Amino acid sequence: MLLKLSFSSLYARLVTVGMTILAISVSLMLYMSVEKLRTSAYTSFTDTISQTDLIVGARASSVQLLLYSVFRIGNATNNITWESYLDLVSKEEVDWTVPISLGDSHKGFRVMGTNKEFFSRYKYRGSQSVSIDKGYLFEDLYDVVLGAGVAEKLGYKIGTSLVVSHGLQSFSDHDDQPFRVSGILKKTGTPVDNTVIVSLAAIEAIHVDWSTGAKIPGQLTPIDEIREMDLTPKNITAALVGVKSKLTIFQLQRWINEYPEEAMTAILPGAALQELWRVVGVIENLLLGISVVVIFTTLVGMAAIMFSSLSERRREMAIWRAMGASPFTVIGLLMLEAIFISILSITFSVVLLFCVLNLLQPWIDYNYGILVNIEMLAIKDMYVFAVFIIASITVSLLPAIRAYWFSINDGMTIKL
Amino acid sequence: MDESIIKIDSVRFYWSKKSNFKIFVPNLEIKKGEKVLLLGESGSGKTTLLSLMCGFLNPLSGNISINGNTINQLSSKTRDEYRADNIGIIFQQFNLLPYANVVDNVLLPLYFSKVRSNNVSNKKEKVIELFKQLRLPDDIAQFRASSLSMGQQQRVAVARALIGNPSLIIADEPTSSLDADAQKIFLNLMFEQISENNSTLLMVSHDKSLSNQFDRLIDINEILIREDKSCY
């Protein structure tokens, strides 16, 4: 009967209790969203490249090599020669390689020279590969494939003509050899989206009339003549490498790092990504901090709401006491109410979270490249809920003790 | 055998050390089955005295016995149980739970008192019986207390105080908001039930005109002395 009356009391305060539950649910949902975003940002970041065993470039730190070869941030310290690359390709342990040549740009987007194997070998988020959304991969020397972000931001379509600029912030364009958009890739949420991809031969072609970073004055080789040339690259920036057996990764890495002909570095992408995440992990800590503040605010809000609703219930408490309820029953009832509100808020917040995630997941993925996983709640979430319920009981103690004093002092008169 | 139901002996109380409201009750005795009217003007200490008798408040010194048990010497928990078992309370504002229906309001004291609960073999039948005796309509049972008229709330409050036959009924100015005719009807109904239950009634009022309907009249000024703190 006591429980029935407690629920009737809650029902009678439907608006107040409803607003309390809504406020707590939204706060909890916000906390879980931030947590989801935090873990998803980490997962998406570390999933930027997968199934690649080694990334090889000129001697540099692992983070630097990863930044320019995968994230297209910064510049390579040096290139590696095509001969060294061929040496690497000929190694028995090597299953596949994808050469990458960087250095030029188009309207702020990095231009990457590579071969067609890039599209089948480069994997992200586990085993997903980049695929064509519109058009086709480069067939002609001057075909260019655009990442989805480039096409969208520049408004380019299949057939659009574009000119590659020399370097990153150069005022010199390779305007004598314009490209034509042959394909646009599907959105990946990786740096590929913001990359202009051409063939390695195309990179060589646009630099035929260039020497040591500058155009040779008065030299303009006709395009037809260029097409007839041997456009095998002399240098590349980096190479993605897959090995036949995972057991040989470290052996191959050591061979590369000790390569006598040229100073090269081979990094394990997974380890380098972790290292890089630690560098940019301040964002994660910030999100974690936000989560803690949100949950703290929720609890303070809950205590405040319980305090304010206490005066509403003072008469009720005095009646219970007059009928013989002990102060502990009064405290127990308030704590029970806190537990009930917490459980209902948790349930509602989970429903809200799934609705919001379902609604926003495609938008977050498309705009920020973060794939927020919509999955069942993890054990960690259950721990958080349990801690929240315990914390709710604790914060409800203060209003409950206040109610106890009210109920003693009110006695026969209810001072309301 | 001690025939007194309430016995107060040299009770002193004040709310706080800074308070000017300090009372001393040298002696008070109320016999079982009596219908006593405690008269006194507003602020004279009537409600404080009732709170002491009900065990809501503890005296600084002296003893209060209800049914032979010195309640101020009981633990807080036992005192609450004792109150639930022995005392039915009618408040000035009736204080029904507004969200609960009438039956739940009436049955509420039984939840806290095994003794009173055991006194009622069939709870719903007893409630209906009380309704009839208090001239409340049968169909009122499932109404929410907040939907009742003032007069109906008053009678439901009496039913709640009477259920389970507590030996003592304490009523704090339950007729203050009624006109003379309604007061008479209400008191007659209450007296009938109290007599049937062999309960004792201690009713507080500031209305002297009610005195001829009670067995005994106690003027609070004759039993309660307001003291200065320096006396202690």
Q: What is the mean pLDDT of residues A142-162?
A: 94
**In A, which residues are within 8 Å of B170 by CB distance?**
412
Domain range for B36: 4-231
pLDDT one-digit tens code per residue, B68-101: 999 999 988 888 889 999 999 988 878 888 888 8
| Residue A416 pLDDT grade (very low, low, confident, very high; cuts 50, 70, 90) | very low
Contact yes or no for A323 and B104 at CB 8 A: no
- Which of A412, A414, A415 is best to mutate for the B interface (most B CBs within 10 A)? A412
Beta strands in B60-179, from DSSP E residues, in sequence order: 61-66, 69-70, 87-90, 168-172
* Residue B114 tokens, joined: 């095994």
Statement: residue A32 has pLDDT above 70 = yes
Contact yes or no for B99 and A322 at CB 8 A: no
Q: Which residue has the higher pLDDT, B232 or B106?
A: B106
DSSP code of residue B144: B
* Mean pLDDT across chain B: 86
Closest-CA distance of chain B to residue A413, Å: 7
Quote the pTM value. 0.69
Contact A340, A11 (CB under 8 A): no
Counting one residue from A and one from B, how many pairs have CB atoms under 8 Å apart? 86
Contact yes or no for B84 and A324 at CB 8 A: yes
Q: Which residue has the higher pLDDT, A63 or A331?
A: A63
Cα separation, A8 vs A20, whole angstroms: 17
Helix (H, G, I), strand (E, B) or coil at B103: helix
- A-contacting residues of B 153-172, CB under 8 Å? 160, 170, 172
Contact A243, A54 (CB under 8 A): yes
Statement: residue A113 has pLDDT above 70 = yes
B143 inside 8 A of chain A by CB: no
B108 inside 8 A of chain A by CB: yes
Secondary structure in 3-state letters for chain A: CHHHHHHHHHHHCHHHHHHHHHHHHHHHHHHHHHHHHHHHHHHHHHCCCECCCEEEEECCCHHHHHHHHCCCCCCCCCCEEHHHHHHHHCCCCEEEEEEEEEEEEECCEEEEEECCHHHHHCEECCCEECCEEEECCCCCCCEEEECHHHHHHHCCCCCCEECCECCCCCCCECCCCCEEEEEEECCCCCHHHHEEEEEHHHHHHHCCCEECCEECCCCCCCHHHHHHCCCCCCEECEEEEEECCHHHHHHHHHHHHCCCCCCEEEECHHHHHHHHHHHHCHHHHHHHHHHHHHHHHHHHHHHHHHHHHHHHHHHHHHHHHHCCCCHHHHHHHHHHHHHHHHHHHHHHHHHHHHHHHHHHHHHHHHHHCCCCCCCCCCHHHHHHHHHHHHHHHHHHHHHHHHHHHHHHHHCCCCCC
B173 inside 8 A of chain A by CB: no
Token pair 């009618």 is found at B90
**In B, which residues are within 8 Å of A12 by CB distance?**
98-99
Closest-CA distance of chain B to residue A356, Å: 36
Contact yes or no for A412 and B91 at CB 8 A: yes
**pLDDT above 90 covers what percent of chain B?**
34
- List CB contacts of A23: < 8 A, sequence separation 6 or more: A298, A301, A305
Amino acid at A139: E
Q: How many CA atoms lie within 13 A of B116 on its CB side?
A: 30
Kindly list the residues of chain A whose beta carbon comes within 8 Å of any beta carbon in chain B.
1-2, 4-5, 8-9, 11-12, 315-316, 318-319, 321-329, 408, 410-414
Amino acid at B79: R
Contact yes or no for B76 and A1 at CB 8 A: no
Closest-CA distance of chain B to residue A283, Å: 50
| Residue A157 pLDDT grade (very low, low, confident, very high; cuts 50, 70, 90) | very high
Residue A198 is predicted with a pLDDT of: 96
Residue A409 is predicted with a pLDDT of: 65
* Mean pLDDT across chain A: 87
Cα separation, B205 vs B214, whole angstroms: 12
**In B, which residues are within 8 Å of A412 by CB distance?**
47, 50-51, 54, 56, 89, 91, 170, 172
Contact A257, A84 (CB under 8 A): no
Search chain A and give the residue with CA nearest B16.
Answer: A409
pLDDT one-digit tens code per residue, A175-219: 889 999 999 999 888 899 999 999 999 999 999 988 877 788 888
Domain holding B75: CATH number? 3.40.50.300
Statement: residue B29 has pLDDT above 80 = yes
pLDDT one-digit tens code per residue, A289-338: 887 888 788 778 777 777 777 766 777 877 887 888 877 787 888 788 88
Structural domain count, chain B: 1
Residue A163 is predicted with a pLDDT of: 94
Distances (CA, A) of B222 to A171, B43, B49: 108, 15, 13
DSSP code of residue B9: E
| Residue A374 pLDDT grade (very low, low, confident, very high; cuts 50, 70, 90) | confident
**In A, which residues are within 8 Å of B104 by CB distance?**
1, 4-5, 8
**In B, which residues are within 8 Å of A413 by CB distance?**
47, 51, 92, 172
Statement: residue B168 has pLDDT above 90 = yes
Closest-CA distance of chain B to residue A388, Å: 30
